[in-house]
Chain A
Amino acid sequence: MLYREAGQFKTNYVADQAIFPILQDRVGIGIILLIAFVAVPYFGDGFLLQAVMIPFLIYSLASIGLNLLTGYTGLLSLGTGAFMGVGAYACYKLTSVFPNVNILIWIVCSGFFAAAVGVLFGLPSLRIKGFYLAIATLAAQFFLQWCFVRIPWLVNYNVSNAIEVPQRKFLDMIITGPSATPIARYLIVLTIVVLMTWIASNIVHGRIGRKWMAIRDQDIAAELMGIRLLRTKLLAFAVSSFYCGVAGAMLVFLWYGGAEADTFNINQSFFVLFMVIIGGLGSLLGSYLGAALIFGLPILLRILPDMVGISVHSATIEHLSFLIVGALIIFFLIVEPHGLARMWQIAKQKLRVWPFPY
């Protein structure tokens, strides 16, 4: 009743192939965008923007990146954290060498550096598959992290051996550095993430996306059909790393305001992988849902005892949140191995036939 497509006729292929073919979806996405661009910055306080929304969006972008590789192309990667790091360090280097160029250009350009590194470490994917490949991508993780620590040139020979984000402006608005307001940073992050999601959606719905999915489903069959494995797999690595790189650059420049090599350690990779799997492999919506759940849970667990009025030792909460997050991951996998995106699909179907399920 609430969600039905009855009466919405499609009279041409363009309408049939649309990403949001149903009116309710289009209205829904419009409302969500309106809330995100207007309501959240207008009503949200600094804490909501700084500690919840900005990192949520950045991690969503990173998990979209990993999802393009793991969910759409079927190549399991554990090097996400390092690719994010490449983006962050590239952006820092670029903006210190060319301080007058707009920082947003460098944030996007840093993705290309991450893409190049991603292609390099994607090369073994032609020979090795599955978990063997996953461990091979760990090589990227450890090697790049070692580079971040050992090459002081990357951080302009800072004494702290860390990235110190300089102050940069966009249209006379300070958007990076300590004096930037959360609202400005939030809007920048939101714009970039929305645009890149739109691009990703077009990629996966188009020719390239179909090639990727063919490789995921059976790479030998895909090769027999004339898809060139080398190019397509490397393209997947490149695009995925591009997204991760931009996410990493934003993570440092628009959220943390500074980072050392350990920011991009292996736990960062696992964190993003959780989001992809819990959210749903091969779903852009899933990337958002997964990021919301995995990033939101620990915050919720930290706030919850205060709200209920129980005072628990902070170390205990830390341990408990590990325990609960772990248990919930297993729980979600058991309940719906295809992730939150599939749950949303099922819910949609239920809404469609409600109140007469038969």
Chain B
Amino acid sequence: MDILYKIFLDPFVQMAGAPDLLLQTLWEGLVGGVLYALIALGFVLIFKASGVFNFAQGIMVVFAALTLVGLYGVLTGFGISNQHVAAFIALGLTVGVMFLLALGIEKLVLRPLVNQPDIILFMATFGLTYVLIGVGELIFGGDPKIMITDQLFLPRGSYDWQVFGGFVSFQYIDIAAAIIASAMVAGLAVFFSKTRIGRALRAVADSHKAALSVGISLEQIWVIVWFASGLVALVTGIMWAARSDVSFALQIIALRALPVLILGGFTSIPGAIVGGLIIGVGEKIGEFYWGPLLGGGIESWLAYFIALVFLLFRPQGLFGEKIIERV
């Protein structure tokens, strides 16, 4: 009886008792959710266009952030005295690196593996993950680095909002992350619906064969989507690293974004965003109010359970296309 009371009543009493804490937890969940959504977005872009489950998305985030910080170090070493100029040149160069990466992946990994079963392509992105870890550590070293937030004009500090007799604290960097993420999603949406390439992308996502038959070059499209998700990875990397630091541990956090995918559906961009927010909030609330009951640390699997519960009712995810199977 006592345990039921603790599970079903206590947490809600706590919530009602300290609404400012609840708001704070909600906000932190949303912020975490935005970052999960961004990682999931990178997955979805590639899955939609090429049917590849890109396990390397997590390491691409790390790789992009490392490249940015590394290039900045090189540039300042070469005597570019203005920090901001150096930072933005490094940013531009990193975008270039991500493009080359996309080009290389398409040429060396995807093209030779055209028409192979999904699981083989999935495995190939595993190989890619290892290569990127190896290259990243060889060039930049494995020690954590500090993100160049100030140099990129990203704000720091926080704002305390007095409410409900307490206060809720908003980190400026989180607000910036939310704004930039929304801008990027809006940009992608416009790109997908208004431009010629965007229409080609959607055609490829619908059917590879039909797209080929109307003269769309699959190779070109794949380079573009991998580049696009490389850019998403770069933004994610900057935002995430600004809150902690740049290290290979980020790659593990990317695994936590996987439930977002099954929740939102592999092929749905709105799904990735809504799923990300649900998982982010669910995780934080669960950890904060129910975690102590179970001894803490439940963040690592709670997201998977939330996603599984949703999946039992909708096997294709919240926004996924209905799975139609033919024999």
Contacts and interface: CB of A to CB of B under 8 A. Distances in A.
A287 B132 CA distance: 26
A323 B304 CA distance: 30
A233 to B, nearest CB: 14
Contacts of A319: 133-134, 137-138, 142
B311 interface: yes
Contacts of A321: 134
Interface in B278-307: 294-298, 300-301, 304-305, 307
A72 to B, nearest CB: 14
Interface residues of A, number: 48
Nearest to A270: B126
B135 interface: yes
A316 B138 contact: yes
A214 B149 CA distance: 55
B113 interface: yes
Interface string A107-141: 00000000000000000100111111001101100
B13 interface: no
Contact of B311 (A132, A142, A143, A334): A132
B44 interface: no
A337 B127 CA distance: 13
Contacts of B117: 337
Contacts of A145: 300
Interface in A58-98: 70, 76
Contact of A277 (B123, B259, B297): B123
Given A150-B297, A266-B255, A330 B127 contact: yes
A135 B113 contact: no
Contacts of B298: 146
A330 B105 CA distance: 11
Given A281-B119, A329-B127, A139 B255 contact: no
Interface in A314-328: 315-316, 318-328
A285 B93 CA distance: 47
Given A132-B262, A139-B308, A150-B295, A334 B119 contact: no
A130 B118 contact: yes
Contacts of B122: 131
Residue from the set A138, A218, A320 with the largest chain B CB neighbour count within 10 Å? A138
Contact of A135 (B131, B135, B307): B307
A320 B308 contact: no
B119 A326 contact: no
A128 B311 contact: yes
A333 B312 contact: no
B128 interface: yes
Interface in B88-138: 108-109, 112-113, 116-120, 122-124, 126-135, 137-138
B109 A330 contact: yes
Contacts of A330: 108-109, 124, 127-128, 131
A34 interface: no
Contact of B315 (A132, A135, A143, A315): A132
Contacts of B113: 333-334, 337
B112 A329 contact: no
Contact of A220 (B255, B258, B327): B327
A346 interface: no
A52 interface: no
Nearest to B300: A142
A244 to B, nearest CB: 19
Contacts of A149: 297
A330 B316 CA distance: 29
A337 to B, nearest CB: 5
Contacts of A266: 255
Interface of A: 70, 76, 124, 127-132, 135-136, 138-139, 142-143, 145-146, 149-150, 218, 220-221, 224, 266, 270, 273-274, 277-278, 281, 315-316, 318-330, 333-334, 337
29 contacts: A127-B312, A128-B262, A129-B315, A129-B323, A130-B118, A131-B118, A132-B316, A135-B259, A139-B259, A139-B305, A142-B301, A145-B300, A146-B298, A149-B297, A150-B296, A273-B123, A278-B123, A281-B119, A319-B133, A320-B134, A322-B130, A322-B137, A326-B130, A327-B127, A328-B127, A330-B128, A330-B131, A333-B113, A334-B124
Interface of B: 53, 108-109, 112-113, 116-120, 122-124, 126-135, 137-138, 142, 255, 258-259, 261-262, 266, 294-298, 300-301, 304-305, 307-308, 311-312, 315-317, 323, 325, 327
